[in-house]
């Protein structure tokens, strides 16, 4: 089968495709990182942070599907394979073993801040290229920024 015919032009497709692929890596790794912390967490606030991390996982997984399906809808193949994620992720990785709740809250706050910064650039980048993609990214950014506030407020 040939490539899916894109509803947008070649250049716009290139810009939006890169942006979506970058977002996909961010969101897949965010879900992996949040699960890693969800499982290895310790500390007096264990129960609350344990459950809060699953909200991040749900947000990241929902976002993955949206950006990956958006990519293929404009004719660009998303790549969310383990090797690709491991090699291209820009998210600082957690250490193995038990993770203290305070440190997790600080780390997640920091990770979200970095991802948000990249989403902000992506929103700007797609303004001309594809308002449909941009609107999707804005929606995800709003959720990320809301979680960023809620994690930051606990630090």
What is the C-alpha to C-alpha distance for residues 26 and 18, in angstroms, rounded to an integer? 12
10 near a second copy (CB under 8 A)? no
One of 15, 19, 28, 60 touching a second copy (CB under 8 A): 28
Q: Is 41 in the site for a second copy (CB under 8 A)?
A: yes
Please give the Cα distance from 128 to 99 (Å, whole number).
Answer: 43
149 binds a second copy (CB under 8 A): yes
Sign of CA dihedral 145, 151, 152, 154: positive
Residue 129: CB minimum distance to a second copy, A: 12
Q: Per CB under 8 A, which of residues 74..113 are in contact with a second copy?
A: 74, 77-83, 85-87, 89, 93-94, 96-98, 100, 102, 113
41 bridge partner residues: 99
> Does 20 participate in binding a second copy (rule CB under 8 A)?
no
Q: Are 129 and 15 in contact (CB under 8 A)?
A: yes
Q: Which tokens sit at 60?
A: 């990241």
Pick from 107, 108, 129, 136 the residue near a second copy by CB under 8 A: 136
């Amino acid at each position: 089968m040939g490539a899916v015919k894109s509803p947008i032009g070649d250049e716009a497709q290139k810009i939006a495709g890169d942006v979506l692929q970058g977002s996909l890596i961010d969101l897949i790794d965010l879900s992996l990182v949040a699960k890693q912390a969800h499982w290895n967490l310790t500390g007096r606030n264990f129960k609350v942070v344990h459950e809060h991390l699953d909200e991040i996982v749900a947000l990241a997984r929902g976002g993955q599907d949206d950006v990956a399906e958006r990519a293929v809808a404009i004719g660009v193949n998303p790549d969310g394979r383990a090797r690709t994620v491991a090699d291209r992720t820009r998210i600082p990785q957690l250490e193995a073993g038990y993770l203290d709740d305070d440190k997790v809250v600080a780390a997640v706050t920091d990770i979200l801040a970095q991802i948000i910064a990249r989403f902000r650039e992506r929103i700007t980048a797609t303004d001309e290229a594809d308002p449909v993609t941009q609107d999707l990214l804005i929606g995800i950014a709003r959720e990320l920024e809301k979680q960023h506030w809620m994690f930051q407020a606990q630090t």
